[in-house]
Amino acid sequence: MSGKITFTMIKPDAVADGHIGAILGKIAEAGFKIKALKLTQLTVADAQKFYEVHAGRPFYGELVDFMSSGPIVAAVLENENAVESFRTLIGATNPADAAEGTIRKMFARSIGENAVHGSDSDENALIEAQFHFSGREIF
């Protein structure tokens, strides 16, 4: 059974490029309800821990540097089948492969600087939400 919660970040590229409002608009239009929301910045240690699963990959260092390079927007979102429907809304990891109308197609700079994060499972959505928000910041 699929869960109702996913976790997202608007990444430093999209914040710097002025796309916070447009991306939150696309998320709302797609029917997601905002359960938690903040503008924040990851330290290098935070980014290393958040992306620990990718520690062996060649792009890990670049990813950690990028994700800690500037402010992000973190959010917990609610919808039916939230993880899968949000990943459909954001599109493929590489914006060159992302479908027309998806958030990454519209706003990402590159495969690394790809505008948004979306959780890949119900279990990780909960872990990621709790990484960024305390209980009293989630509504």
Position among 44, 49, 55, 59 found at the interface with ligand ADP (CB under 6 A): 59
Rg of the chain over Cα atoms, rounded to whole angstroms, equals 14
Indicate the pairing of strand 116-118 with strand 5-10: antiparallel
Is residue 120 within the footprint of ligand ADP (CB under 6 A)? yes
Q: Which is nearer to ligand ADP, 128 or 133 (CB)?
A: 128
CB count within 10 Å of CB 94 equals 13
Report the partner that residue 71 touches, choosing among Mg ion, ligand ADP, none (CB closer than 5 to 8 A by kind). Answer: none
Closest to 113 measured CA to CA, from 132, 96, 133: 96
Report the partner that residue 114 touches, choosing among Mg ion, ligand ADP, none (CB closer than 5 to 8 A by kind). Answer: ligand ADP
Is residue 78 within the footprint of ligand ADP (CB under 6 A)? no
CB half-sphere exposure, 61, CA atoms < 13 A: 1
Q: Which two tokens stand for residue 65?
A: 């540097």
Contacts of 65 (CB under 8 A, 6+ apart): 44, 47
Is residue 112 within the footprint of ligand ADP (CB under 6 A)? yes
Position among 69, 120, 131, 138 found at the interface with Mg ion (CB under 5 A): 120
Q: Is 117 a catalytic residue?
A: yes
Total number of residues that touch Mg ion (CB under 5 A):
1
Q: CA angle at residue 9 from 19 to 22, to 5 degrees?
A: 20
Residues that bind ligand ADP (CB under 6 A): 54, 59, 62-63, 93, 111-112, 114, 117, 120
Question: Which residue positions form the known binding site?
Answer: 11, 59, 87, 93, 104, 114
